[in-house]
Amino acid sequence: MVEVNLWSGLRALTGGKQVVEVEASTVGEVLSGLVKAYPELQAPIEAGVSVAVDGRIIASGLTEPVNPDSEIYLMQRLKGG
């Protein structure tokens, strides 16, 4: 299991939880695990999110590994200009 920290706008979709746990070993599994555990998260995740693992923003690597002790944050998509 990994712990995922959620931005405040998602907490209403997880019963007020700031941190949730999912079974995952990659960033892609984190996202699919979140949707499986909290189906209401599907729309925001499909709209686009950023995932930070141990302080690094994972741009497009759904196969990026995560560990049980990884610090994972689900954030609104970061856009550059």
State pLDDT tens for residues 62-75.
Answer: 999 999 999 999 99
> Is-contact 30 4, C-beta < 8 A?
yes
- The model's confidence at residue 59, banded by pLDDT at 50, 70 and 90, is confident
Structural contact between residues 6 and 28, judged by C-beta atoms closer than 8 angstroms: no
pLDDT of residue 73: 97
How does strand 49-53 pair with strand 56-58?
A: antiparallel
Residue 49: both structure tokens together: 């999110």
CA distances from 25 to 10, 43, 53 (A): 22, 22, 12
pTM strictly above 0.85: yes
Report residue 80's pLDDT band, with 50, 70 and 90 as the boundaries.
low
Q: Taking 90 as the threshold, does the pLDDT of residue 81 lie above it?
A: no
The 3-state DSSP class for residue 69 equals coil
